[in-house]
Amino acid sequence: MAFNIEETLSKLSVIQKIKLLSGLGWWHTEPVEEHGIPSMRMSDGPNGVRGTRFFNGVPSSCFPSSTGLGASFDIDLAYDVGVALGEECRAKGCHILLGPTVNTQRSPLGGRSFESFAEDPTLNGLIAAAYINGVQSKGVSATIKHFVANDQEFERFSISSDVSERALREIYLKPFQLALKHSDPWALMSSYNRVNGVHVSENTWLLDDILRKEWGFKGLIMSDWIGVYSTAESIKAGVDLEMPGPTVMRGKAVERSLAAQKLFISDIDDRARKVLELLQKAYASGIPFNAPEEGVDTPELRKLLRKAAADSIVLLKNEKNLLPLTSESKVRSIAVIGPNAKYAFSSGGGSARLLESYTVTPLHGIEAGAKEFGLDVKFALGATTHKLNPLLDPYITLRDGSGKGALLEFWNESPADGFATTQTNLTDGLKPCVWSCTTKVSNCVLLDGVDESKVEKDCFLRYSTVFTPEESGTYEFSLTLAGSGNLFFENKLIIDLSTAPTPGDYFMGLGTAEVKVQVPGLKAGQGYLLEVRANNHDYVKQVPIIPNWGGLRLGAVKVVEPEDALKEAIDLAKSTDVAILVVGLNHDWESEGYDRPDLELPGLTNRLVSGVLKANPRTIVVNQSGSAVTFPWINEAPTVLQAFYGGNELGNGIADVLFGKVNPSAKLSLTFPKRLEDVPSYPSYGSKGQEHGKILYNEGVFVGYRGYQVKNLTPMFPFGFGLSYSTFEYSALKCSEISAEGKFTVSFTIKNTSNVDGREVAQIYISDDEASLPRPQRELKGFKKVALKAGESRSVDVGLDREALGFFDERRGEWIAEKGTFSVLVGASSEDVKLKESVDLKNSLTWRGL
């Protein structure tokens, strides 16, 4: 239903207009029923559409983490992923998707590094634009986030990113700027942090002067969740929508600001107009309001998920051409080893996580791939490397035997004396609960999904389930709470988190630390009763910034003697033709809410890898992480792959590359350093690098590969690096003259010199040979992914403009491309330059805006 925005605005009372400026609960905008204004729905983002629930949501597709999609360097794939996300939004009645994330990775340690596409602004911005165009082709609004310089989780609501204007413009604002140049996102999310002392959500310079006036952004600006810290200031600066609801900084506070003339009705009109403009688009999309949520699962979607998983895998080493494993490889038996083979780590942690519609573990993917060649696959864990104990999901059933999962019951008052603390068998004699539900998961993030008409925020809860282990032995159980309470095993208290629990990382840094206890003598196939009895009083009192029902996370893992597990894996590797190690991190190591302390692989991973490499020279290492880690054994490893968090189909994606169904074509979207000290932002990063509430961005524009190159540091693997089963030859570089407006074309030829079809990502770097200030040695300004049949050769044209030549001149307050000579470098990575040409810019060019 199209409506006239100005007419509608003129009919609304001031109170109704103010209502439009805040959220209704976690995932909706406030409606104004009297005028027929409905509530728009939104969902995270960025690698899937979780829908309106963290807890017990409708299952969704999970695409590879953004660093993986970035590594594909594939604009068409990013568009197709965007389209699929748009379709899933439609199925979930969702008008606004909270993605993509484009915060430049200043350090691989960032808890959310996996969420952005690349450390390079051009790759980050261009992939984001394609993703946005895909999402919005389905009538759904994308929300580019988090604007801006939100590159670490440490003290994320308050930290000030102290950065020069030049670095801000060239490195941190640039991905947003490019995305806005090549797409038209209908919404943007401001970030939590401060920039040079001023919170972004009240930063007029960033939101109004740069974003709206200089760049001409026409869309809606929403806050990050609980990221509005002022009333008049945030409205003046241009934050249209405070999220989530109920409002804390708006509502009555806006009325007070109007009375004090800190705000005027025109300010309210400006903000409300943006909400109505987005509503206009929501109407045009035809997506119903308050619709039931559904998932999407079609053969085409599965195909796309599988393609995305395989196309985001980077082949780092293939020294002995062990890969691909084909019928000619003379391989009969395969050992699959490692904790990341057994679990499906589909995405990083925090708001990017969702309940996947299905998953394929690397072990299952490899087993299925191997079956086609009649190969024998055996598995050994080798080491346990989890940060928090693995979840119980596959092993829990309801106590009444009616199916998989657990029962969750809620009371507003204690259902029995000593509910959370005694050892009494509480099966009987409890007061009836006010509300209950079943769940299939043992990680219950109760931010939503609870019937708020029945359950008060300050409540008691019981989670009960039957745990049936697959193997006999001693198990280590663990409990983590956003609240306080206890874990009972067969009605015996085994973990006490009821008094003075230690704060920890759980619940995006707002919950307790995990407490573990071992229980011996469990028998395979036998059911054991587990109960968590908790209340969230202390949680609600102490962490009032997030209004919800708290949360609980139950884990369990079979205790293995580390040396035995290592030996078992090494023995297995010795006995098979090939060993495939699948190691890495997971969503507990890389998550919103906290940063990583170092670049190490966890636990005994490195010992496991070294041991298996010694045992079997035909060992393939597959590393799974959303961002860079270090490989101390790299010189001994002949065959290495980097798989990011690959989404639903991660196991099949890995198998497709290993067995040659897919010829790898991805290239690293971020540098893999040799050691943490080499990372350009070191040491001024994260908790160790903060200086009383600020982080100094001392490295300026020398971020990512720009920082390694200026110091002549060789990383373990450079940005843009990745091998293929094909080989390519570059030739015939030609550059057209630069036009008066700064436009020019770079042309060259690529030939597939192998006998297998493949795809190559050609990268165009520019270097300013005569700059008046220090500039990076070379900067990525364009790229093209080219599919070439065996032996095929193709000429490639890439159009560039003044943006490829310019830098931000702080004195002039504008961009400048200085006249003189520039080198055009065409390469297979940031370090592997294949062709070089010079171009001359006859007259300097200056500009503002996109």
Residue with Cβ nearer ligand BGC (106 or 386): 106
Least distance from ligand BGC to the Cβ atom of residue 51, Å: 12
Least distance from ligand BGC to the Cβ atom of residue 115, Å: 8
Residue with Cβ nearer ligand BGC (46 or 59): 46
- What does the DSSP 8-state code read for residue 831? S
Residue with Cβ nearer ligand BGC (57 or 338): 57
Site size toward ligand BGC, by CB under 6 A: 7
**Residue number with the smallest Cβ distance to ligand BGC:** 351
Taking CB under 6 A as the criterion, which residues in 12-51 touch ligand BGC? 44-45
Least distance from ligand BGC to the Cβ atom of residue 123, Å: 21
Least distance from ligand BGC to the Cβ atom of residue 98, Å: 4
Q: How far apart are CA 690 and CA 57, in angstroms?
A: 37
Residue from 199, 239, 252 nearest 21 by CA: 239
Pick one of 183, 351, 484, 663: the residue that binds ligand BGC (CB under 6 A): 351
Phi, psi of 772 (to 5 degrees): -85, 0
Least distance from ligand BGC to the Cβ atom of residue 351, Å: 4
Taking CB under 6 A as the criterion, which residues in 632-651 touch ligand BGC? none
Q: How many of the other CB atoms lie within 10 Å of CB of 790?
A: 12
Least distance from ligand BGC to the Cβ atom of residue 66, Å: 12
Residue 524, amino acid = A
Handedness of CA 680, 685, 688, 690 (dihedral sign): positive
Q: Tokens 């490019």 — which residue?
A: 178
Residue 594 engages ligand BGC in binding (rule: CB under 6 A): no
Residue 175 engages ligand BGC in binding (rule: CB under 6 A): no
Q: How far apart are CA 537 and CA 433, in angstroms?
A: 17
Least distance from ligand BGC to the Cβ atom of residue 42, Å: 8
Residue 362 engages ligand BGC in binding (rule: CB under 6 A): no
CA-to-CA dists, residue 721 to 78, 349, 641, 787, angstroms: 19, 26, 12, 17
Least distance from ligand BGC to the Cβ atom of residue 225, Å: 4
Residue 828 engages ligand BGC in binding (rule: CB under 6 A): no
Print the binding letters for residues 480-519 with ligand BGC: x by CB under 6 A, - otherwise.
----------------------------------------
Phi-psi region of 225 (alpha: psi -120 to 50; beta: other; left: phi over 0): beta
Residue 649, amino acid = E
Taking CB under 6 A as the criterion, which residues in 530-589 touch ligand BGC? none
451 is catalytic: no
Q: Which residues pair with 473 in a beta bridge?
A: 522
Residue with Cβ nearer ligand BGC (473 or 544): 544
Q: How far apart are CA 166 and CA 152, in angstroms?
A: 20
Residue with Cβ nearer ligand BGC (102 or 615): 102
Residue with Cβ nearer ligand BGC (225 or 725): 225
Residue 382 engages ligand BGC in binding (rule: CB under 6 A): no
Strand pairing report for 443-445 and 484-489: unpaired
Residue with Cβ nearer ligand BGC (98 or 738): 98
Spatial neighbors of 651 by CB under 8 A, at least 6 apart, are: 344, 359, 360, 361, 362, 363, 364, 365, 366
Residue with Cβ nearer ligand BGC (592 or 803): 592
Least distance from ligand BGC to the Cβ atom of residue 650, Å: 22
Q: Tokens 């239903």 — which residue?
A: 1
Residue 224 engages ligand BGC in binding (rule: CB under 6 A): yes
Residue from 268, 230, 270 nearest 249 by CA: 230
Handedness of CA 518, 519, 521, 527 (dihedral sign): negative
Residue 831 engages ligand BGC in binding (rule: CB under 6 A): no
CA-to-CA dists, residue 537 to 202, 436, 449, 485, angstroms: 33, 19, 19, 10
Tokens of 725: 């089963």
Q: Are the C-beta atoms of residues 423 and 488 closer than 8 Å to each other?
A: yes
Residue with Cβ nearer ligand BGC (156 or 317): 156
Pick one of 32, 37, 91, 98: the residue that binds ligand BGC (CB under 6 A): 98
Least distance from ligand BGC to the Cβ atom of residue 385, Å: 26
Q: Which residues pair with 30 in a beta bridge?
A: none
Residue 317, amino acid = K
Tokens of 445: 């993030």
Least distance from ligand BGC to the Cβ atom of residue 298, Å: 26
> What is the full DSSP assignment across 49-102?
---S-SSSPPPB-BPPPHHHHHHTT-HHHHHHHHHHHHHHHHHTT-SEEE--B-
Out of 80, 162, 224, 801, the active site residue is: 224
Residue 154 engages ligand BGC in binding (rule: CB under 6 A): no
Q: Are the C-beta atoms of residues 40 and 289 closer than 8 Å to each other?
A: yes
Residue with Cβ nearer ligand BGC (148 or 825): 148
Residue 145 engages ligand BGC in binding (rule: CB under 6 A): yes
Tokens of 613: 């490499």
CA 375 remoteness from chain centre: 35
Residue 225 engages ligand BGC in binding (rule: CB under 6 A): yes
Residue from 41, 49, 43, 42 nearest 354 by CA: 49
Residue with Cβ nearer ligand BGC (45 or 550): 45
Residue from 400, 352, 384, 565 nearest 476 by CA: 384
Q: Which residues are catalytic?
A: 224
Contact residues: ligand BGC, CB under 6 A: 44-45, 98, 145, 224-225, 351
